[in-house]
Amino acid sequence: MTEFLVGMDVGQQRDFTAIAVVQAGQPEIEYQLRHLERIPLHTPVPKVVERVVQLLRTPPLWGRSTLVVDATGAGLPVIDLLKNAGTYPVAISITSGKHASHAGGSSYRVPKRELVRSLVALLESGRLQSALGLSFGKEFIDELLAFKMRINRRTSRTTYESGEAAVHDDLVLAVSLACWYGEHGSGARMFNPAAAEHLN
């Protein structure tokens, strides 16, 4: 049974890659944010993959976690490398559409606004709580506070993004990916420890 949801927002040249670990299904707290991290800018992709696999091999995540990865843009080649490294990532392509859809296998297409709305709903209801003293906890809160809904007057479409140029949204998206899958996904395969032995 999956007990930990590991969300990964794949950054590009100017954006951080962020990782969030959410523990799910506890008796008292339905979701608890246990870990946040940002991988330094300009880290080579193989090193990013190595870090993720290292994290998944760490107790208590070992064999008890589902990896949920942003498959948009730079995320696709990262997902291929993660599969080669023995993981079975759930791929979520972030869209500007109105509805989430299952794209077959462990792939989904999910509007950004739905990802963020799911996260906000869990926080507001108290179903998601954060561990005390979390690294990058302040940055996560800053990102949440900076997120704004924007309405395109021509198309009437709403988008959700950071309203401040200096504030990233990588941590919010990493947590959102994990939480959305916890609420709406199904059938994920967990990390396969044996298949990653060659990375030692």
Residue 143, both tokens: 């990102």
User: Cα separation of 49 and 72, whole Å?
Assistant: 16
pLDDT in tens, 7-24: 999 987 778 999 999 999
pLDDT in tens, 24-42: 987 667 899 999 999 999 8
pLDDT in tens, 110-137: 998 899 889 989 999 999 999 888 999 9
User: Cα separation of 127 and 71, whole Å?
Assistant: 26
Model's pTM, two decimal places? 0.85
Q: Give the H or E element holding residue 181.
A: helix 170-184
User: Cα separation of 188 and 75, whole Å?
Assistant: 18
HSE-up of 125 (CA within 13 Å, CB side)?
12
| pLDDT, position 166 | 44
User: Cα separation of 27 and 165, whole Å?
Assistant: 39
| pLDDT, position 193 | 53
Q: Who's near 88: CB < 8 A, 6+ residues apart?
A: 67, 106, 188, 189, 190, 191, 192
pLDDT in tens, 150-197: 544 564 455 555 555 445 789 999 999 999 999 988 655 455 554 454
User: Cα separation of 9 and 158, whole Å?
Assistant: 21
* Domains (range + CATH), the chain: 4-192 (3.30.420.240)
- State the average pLDDT over residues 78-84: 93
Residue 182 sits at the vertex; the CA angle it makes with 138 and 167, to the nearest 5 degrees, is: 25
Residue 47 pLDDT exceeds 90: yes
